[in-house]
Amino acid sequence: MKKLMLLALSLSLLLAGCAPNFNEQDEVVREKEDAKEKAIIPSFKISDQYYQTVLPFEPSESRGLVVGNINSKYDITEFETGLMRVAQNTFDPDKYLFQEGQHLKRKTVSLWLNRKFTAAQLEENKLKEEENIGLNPLDNGKEETPKFLAHILEHNYLVKNDEGKYKLGGVVIGLALNSVYYYQKIQYGPTYETKISHAELEKEGKKLADEVLSRLRKMDQLKDVPITIALFEQQSKTSVVPGNFFAYANAPKGSTKLGGWEKIEEKYVQFPSSAATESHRDDLTSFLNFKQDVEAYFPNFNGVIGKAFYVQGQLQELSINIPIQFYGKAEGIGFTQYVAGLIMKHFPEYISIEVNVSSVYGPEALIVRKADQNEPFVHIYN
């Protein structure tokens, strides 16, 4: 086996080596709604896949709502990072800077996520008629009437104008949609669920996107900027893999109509699972062979789970978790070296692999093999 990059240095040293050099930051002027302010662009950029952001960081007023509205931490992470991938189709990361959404206020998002209300329901919820702006369907008296819209996320992208100042150059909106709607017939009673087909979800999502665009164009700051709206299908509460964005559409500057919808062919698949068996048998076979070799090393093995990320049907990334019990540091180091070798043996070079080895005491080791790399990076936690 080729020489591995075993690093026993602390994680703090690793991060220090990758930290931005703040002595080389660019100072710019950021145009705001009613003022201008000095801002800083850090010179360091993690990779071409990420947008630079301006400092000081301005959080969205609606931040935090996502935690209560999205089913799992897996969906929360993918909803936010996936929306940035969607943005790259329209807003070049080399020209635009990222900023959290500044235009959809917390109260606005909360009201938009409501159902439509009858007069009696408005009174019951202590809302005014002008606040009856919910985007979810009216409850027709049946508890299973689903809510399609779970959350709305806004990202802003700044671009340099002719005067060398950064101003709003585009807005990207993510609409998180329920594939499963959960409800209770009585407060604190048992929870029931209604599954929503993808076809119905897509149909309702596109209707919602048209209405959201119409409302955004009525905001003075957003009348004349390009707007992209993307649709995200979140998974059930019990899923161990996240949902995915499946379509997006653009509205050019000043337009009140979305252009044609573009399909996003991204999907997460759990290894092993029936979905992997049905659609990705060859990739699953490689994973199962890897799993079998891991199991042969330790009799007290607890299980190997993989999360595969597909783009246009092609496996791009595979994240593997190995929970195991060690009885000494040397044992853990030996096992990690063994697993690193298995990665090179079982998986083709065009796939990015990440393996997290953990025990009851926490993370034990991290192994990363980026696509087309000859050797993996290995870190043993102290």
Query: Quick check: is 356 in a domain?
Result: yes
Per residue of the chain (382 residues), give pLDDT as tens: 444 444 333 333 333 334 444 345 555 555 565 556 666 776 666 666 789 888 777 888 888 888 889 999 999 999 999 999 999 999 999 999 999 999 999 999 999 999 999 999 899 889 999 999 999 999 877 667 899 999 999 999 999 888 888 899 999 999 999 999 999 888 888 999 999 999 999 999 999 999 999 999 999 999 999 999 999 999 999 998 999 999 999 999 999 999 999 999 999 999 999 999 999 999 999 999 999 999 888 766 668 999 999 999 999 999 999 998 877 888 889 999 999 999 999 999 999 999 999 988 899 999 999 998 989 999 999 8
Q: Both 254 and 286 in a single domain?
A: no
**CATH, residue 330:** 3.30.300.190
Q: Both 137 and 220 in a single domain?
A: yes
Last residue of a domain, one of 230, 264, 298: 264
Q: Both 302 and 211 in a single domain?
A: no
Residue 301 DSSP one-character state = -
- Of 367, 311, 317, 321, the closest CA to residue 344 belongs to 367
Q: Both 296 and 326 in a single domain?
A: yes
Q: Both 142 and 233 in a single domain?
A: yes
Query: Quick check: is 32 in a domain?
Result: no
Last residue of a domain, one of 209, 233, 264: 264
Q: Across the strands, what pairs with 182?
A: 193
Query: Quick check: is 345 in a domain?
Result: yes
The pLDDT score that the predictor gives to residue 324 is 85
| C-alpha 56 chain-centroid distance | 23
Residue 222 DSSP one-character state = G
The pLDDT score that the predictor gives to residue 251 is 98
Q: Both 169 and 119 in a single domain?
A: yes
Domain count, the chain: 2
**In angstroms, how far is the first alpha carbon of the chain from the final one?**
24
Query: Quick check: is 153 in a domain?
Result: yes
Helix, strand or coil for residue 11? helix
Question: Please, which residues have CB within 8 angstroms of residue 109's CB and are 6 or more apart in sequence?
Answer: 62, 65, 151, 152
Helix, strand or coil for residue 310? strand
**CA atoms within 13 Å, Cβ hemisphere of 47:** 2
| C-alpha 163 chain-centroid distance | 34
Spell out the long-range contacts of 199-207 with Cβ–Cβ below 8 A and sequence spacing 24 or more.
201/148, 201/177, 201/233, 202/231, 202/246, 202/247, 204/148, 204/177, 205/148, 205/175, 205/177, 205/231, 205/247, 206/231, 206/247, 206/249, 206/261
Query: Residue 350: which domain range?
Result: 270-380
Query: Quick check: is 21 in a domain?
Result: no
Structure token pair of residue 162: 């002719």
Distance CA 209, CA 174 (A): 9
Q: Are 285 and 291 in contact (CB under 8 A)?
A: no
Q: Both 290 and 228 in a single domain?
A: no
Model confidence, pTM: 0.86
Q: Both 281 and 222 in a single domain?
A: no
Q: Both 245 and 306 in a single domain?
A: no
Distance CA 272, CA 285 (A): 9
Alpha helices (runs of H) in 242-323, residue ranges in sequence order: 274-279, 281-297
Query: Quick check: is 23 in a domain?
Result: no
Q: Both 58 and 121 in a single domain?
A: yes
| C-alpha 35 chain-centroid distance | 32
* Sign of torsion over alpha carbons 92, 96, 100, 104: negative
Structure token pair of residue 290: 């890897």
| C-alpha 376 chain-centroid distance | 25
Q: Are 316 and 352 in contact (CB under 8 A)?
A: yes
Distance CA 41, CA 62 (A): 24
Question: Please, which residues have CB within 8 angstroms of residue 75's CB and are 6 or more apart in sequence?
Answer: 176, 234, 235, 242, 243
The pLDDT score that the predictor gives to residue 19 is 40
Element counts in the chain: helices (H) and strands (E): 9, 17
Last residue of a domain, one of 264, 285, 314: 264
Question: Please, which residues have CB within 8 angstroms of residue 375's CB and are 6 or more apart in sequence?
Answer: 2, 3, 4, 5, 344, 369
Q: Both 166 and 101 in a single domain?
A: yes
Q: Are 339 and 326 in contact (CB under 8 A)?
A: no
Query: Quick check: is 6 in a domain?
Result: no
Query: Quick check: is 27 in a domain?
Result: no
Question: Please, which residues have CB within 8 angstroms of residue 271's CB and are 6 or more apart in sequence?
Answer: 283, 284, 287, 305, 306, 307, 308, 318
Q: Both 103 and 251 in a single domain?
A: yes
Q: Across the strands, what pairs with 184?
A: 191
Structure token pair of residue 145: 């009437």
**CATH, residue 197:** 3.10.570.10
